Amino acid sequence: MNNSETLSIISKLISFKSITPLGLDCLEYVSSFLKELNFSVEIIQYGPVYNMFAKLKKSDGPHVCFGGHVDVVPPGNEWNHNPYELTQQNSNGKEMISGLGIVDMKGAIGCFLSALKDCINNIKGTVSVLLTTDEEGDAVDGIRKVIENHKLSNEKFDLFVLGEPSCYKIAGDAIKIGRRGSVTGIISLKGKKGHIAYPEFTNSSINPLKDILDILHNKTIGERNEYFEASRVQVTGISNENQTENVIPGDLQICFGARFNSNYTGEKIIEKLSEKINKACNKYDIKYSIAWKKHGESFVVHDKNIIQWIRDSVKNISGKEIDFNANGATSDGRFLTKLGPVVEIGLNEDQAHQTNECTELSNIKILQNIYCELLKNMTNMPSSKSSN
């Protein structure tokens, strides 16, 4: 399939206004495409969310599943063109293509569909496609629910390839073989409010703020390791619902989040931060509570043979060295890693959720060829081991 046909697929995908949790029409388009290639397709609904699992067994052999999402974040109103139309333009001598979700991740989906059509007669083994409309939102009724409630637990998966944005500049120059874990928290501080003219009769909830920021704001926890940067915690918001200019606040909320590497579990991060926050609040005699939320544990592919097979396949196309890493935000890989090793090979990570989201036109052909090479080389894939 030539580049114009691949772009036609991507253009169609981008035309669907699939803001989370919408996207049934987009999944139906993908479903029709795959049925023409003799895939069995099932669309599964949980609440307002739609999921799709398609499968084609060509012969005995490895099972590779392409996973991802068709939902996108709202575009905002600052785009310089219709975000639901694929637009080509020249920028600083480079041919660029732009559209809502082009890198996150409708461009990758289009490249994989195109690769499937090109390579369908050369595939030996089983190929499946797992897509959801609930990745950019709470991710409750998407891939997570499918794994919990569906027959996927009866499948043997040798490898999941997600089309999440992963490369730096050129498709294939960086591949994610894991992701950091994520926990978030909201601290509710309870002091004693009063008039700013009489601070001696108050106990401001702001008093421990500096100490808490020293714990939570742009701080690292522990050390980096082979594939992960050091764990990091960030404050994301500070609010006082009853703010009045002449009142010392009694109540304050601090929102924060931690992204942690494989040196820690979510429980360990909660334990470490809770101990420090408790000390800071007790110092100022401020009562507090913390609402914690665990979004997922870290994961990484440890099997060096799988990594080497991916390296060889991708280098056959790109001819470049690959940075295997586990940086970035969470993805649905945190659910899929329970079923098999997960890697993420997609377009430019720096463009995810950006206004005028774009990638170089040449990346489309490169990514399509990478996917095709992986599909054609499935029989050479080493037996997978646990990815955790």
So which residues are the catalytic ones?
71, 135
Cα angle at 159 between 258 and 343, to 5 degrees? Answer: 35
Q: Which residues are registered as beta bridge partners of 160? A: 65, 342
CA 308/CA 218 separation, integer angstroms: 35
On the CB side of 169, CA atoms within 13 Å amount to 3
Looking at residue 270, its amino acid is I
How far apart are the C-alpha atoms of 39 and 50, rounded to whole Å? 18
d(C-alpha 122, C-alpha 59), whole Å: 11
Count of Cβ atoms closer than 10 Å to residue 156 Cβ: 10
Q: Which residues of 203-235 are buried (b: 16+ CB within 10 A; e: fewer)?
A: bbbbbbbebbbebbeebebeeeeebbbebbbeb
Is 39 in contact with 49 (CB distance < 8 Å)? no
Under 8 Å between Cβ of 129 and 53: yes
Question: On the CB side of 274, how many CA atoms lie within 13 Å of its CA?
Answer: 13
The β-bridge partners of 167 are: 348
Beta bridge partners of 300: 178
Tell me which H or E stretch contains 365: helix 361-376
Q: How far apart are CA 254 and CA 186, in angstroms?
A: 6
Strand partners, 192: 203
**Residues 208 and 283 sit within 8 Å (Cβ to Cβ):** yes
Tell me the CA distances in angstroms from 358 to 89, 100, 267, 274, one per residue in order: 10, 8, 38, 41
Evaluate whether 167 touches 317 at the Cβ level (below 8 Å). Answer: no
- 3-state SS assignment for residue 383: coil
Identify which of 122, 128, 115 has the alpha carbon closest to the alpha carbon of residue 57: 128
